């Protein structure tokens, strides 16, 4: 997948070192339910296991001009019967690339991939209640708020609520149509 500024490719083993570094950053830890004690070995193990599971996809976001990894996308719950999936994690891990619209650009690319190439009917995602920046981006992209999933995540040993959002194929194509008009 490619756009003006980004290339999104399947994750390779050597990307795990970047993930381990990024996922120690406070702004990333604050945005997800991942444990603050994650380390390189856990990330490698997780990568290997997910690679073998047919209902999961892992991607690395690269900044096109430098061919350099700057972020991560993880898709799970791919259900070919229901034509649905979940964007479980997406982030820009290199701080110098924050605030430049690259997260939105990456989301647009991955949504195109989900709807056009995977023929998905429904894409869901969730976010922590305090992550207003993510919520606003998802709303801007066309996601609809579905509600609160009470105690559905666990962060550092404590249950947390998550806000569920989704977008249907028809909503995606309608949003694309309005953008091109």
Architecture per CATH, domain 6-180, reads as 3-Layer(aba) Sandwich (3.40)
How would you write the pLDDT of the chain (181 residues) with one tens digit per residue? 999 999 999 999 999 999 999 999 999 999 999 877 788 999 999 999 999 999 999 999 999 999 899 999 999 999 999 999 999 999 999 999 999 999 999 999 999 999 999 999 999 999 999 999 999 999 999 999 999 999 999 988 899 999 999 999 999 999 887 766 5
Each domain of the chain, given as residue ranges in start order, spans: 6-180
Q: β-strands 57-63, 84-92: how paired?
A: unpaired
State the DSSP code for 32: S
Q: How many residues are listed for the chain in this entry?
A: 181
pTM of the complete model: 0.93
């Amino acid at each position: 997948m490619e756009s003006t500024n980004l290339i999104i490719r399947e994750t390779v083993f050597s990307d795990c070192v970047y993930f381990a570094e990024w996922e120690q950053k406070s702004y990333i830890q604050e945005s997800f339910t991942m444990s603050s004690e994650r380390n390189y070995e856990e990330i490698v193990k997780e990568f290997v296991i997910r690679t073998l599971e047919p209902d999961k996809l892992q991607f690395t976001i690269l900044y096109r001009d430098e061919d350099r990894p700057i972020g991560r996308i993880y898709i799970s719950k791919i259900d070919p019967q229901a034509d649905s999936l979940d964007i479980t994690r997406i982030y820009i891990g290199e701080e110098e690339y924050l605030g430049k619209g690259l997260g939105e650009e990456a989301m647009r690319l991955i949504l195109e991939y989900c709807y056009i190439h995977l023929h998905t009917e429904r894409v869901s995602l969730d976010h922590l209640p305090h992550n207003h920046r993510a919520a606003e981006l998802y709303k801007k992209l066309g996601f609809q708020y579905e509600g609160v999933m009470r105690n559905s995540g666990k962060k550092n040993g404590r249950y947390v609520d998550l806000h569920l959002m989704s977008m249907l194929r028809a909503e995606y194509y309608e949003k694309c149509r309005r953008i091109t008009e």
